[in-house]
Amino acid sequence: MEYAAHGSYTIEKNERIMLINAQGPFNDITTEQYQQDFKTLISQMSGKAWALLLSINADGIFIPEAEQRLKDTTQYRMENGMVAIAVVITDSRPYTDMLQMQLQRIYQSCDLTFNFFSDTENAKNWLDNLIN
């Protein structure tokens, strides 16, 4: 049985910070496409250290398969120059704690520098300080 993708995202490159806006819930189909799109942008970073600012509006949490794919993607990013990630979780009140725990579990298992913020301006400033 086939099923449809759940969730959406946009990815922008801004100098040495990648900006991602994501709307969940996410399943493995969306996460796999996200991986492929992100790999294309990573190749444009020319071996420099870079960081990621993730703004996520989630109406749910990651299913186990999507969580594993995100872990694999995070490891790939780190192998290709990502040094830190800042996460802003917006408008996901019933799921904020659970989503934050999932992301924390992923980033800690990858030994990645990360932090959670309530707004993108503070998140970007933190990342700027880390990579400059």
Q: Report pTM.
A: 0.85
Query: Phi, psi (5° rounding) for residue 121?
Result: -65, -50
Contacts of 59 (CB under 8 A, 6+ apart): 23, 24, 25, 92, 95
As for how many domains the chain has, the answer is: 1
CATH number at residue 41: 3.30.750
Residue 3 lies in a domain: no
Q: Between 118 and 90, name the one with better pLDDT.
A: 118
Model pLDDT, residue 1 = 46
Residue 6 lies in a domain: no
Model pLDDT, residue 66 = 74
Dist CA 117 CA 25 (whole Å): 20
Residue 2 lies in a domain: no
Percentage, residues of the chain above pLDDT 70: 88
For residue 9, what pLDDT band results from cuts at 50, 70 and 90?
A: confident
Helices (H) and strands (E) in the chain, counts: 4, 5
Instruction: Kindly report, residue by residue over 31-83, the tens digit of the pLDDT.
Output: 778 778 878 888 877 678 999 999 988 666 777 877 888 898 899 899 999 99
Instruction: Determine the 3-state secondary structure of 55 from DSSP.
Output: strand
Residue 8 lies in a domain: no
Dist CA 14 CA 20 (whole Å): 11
Residue 9 lies in a domain: no
- Over residues 105-118, the mean pLDDT reads 96
Residue 94 lies in a domain: yes
Domain coverage including residue 42: 14-131
Contacts of 62 (CB under 8 A, 6+ apart): 24, 25, 26, 31, 70, 99, 102
Model pLDDT, residue 54 = 94
Q: What is the mean pLDDT of the chain?
A: 85
Residue 99 lies in a domain: yes
Residue with tokens 């900006």, as numbered in its chain: 19
- Over residues 94-111, the mean pLDDT reads 90
Dist CA 119 CA 87 (whole Å): 9
Model pLDDT, residue 122 = 97
Residue 122 lies in a domain: yes
Residue 127 has a CB neighbour count (10 Å cut-off) of 24
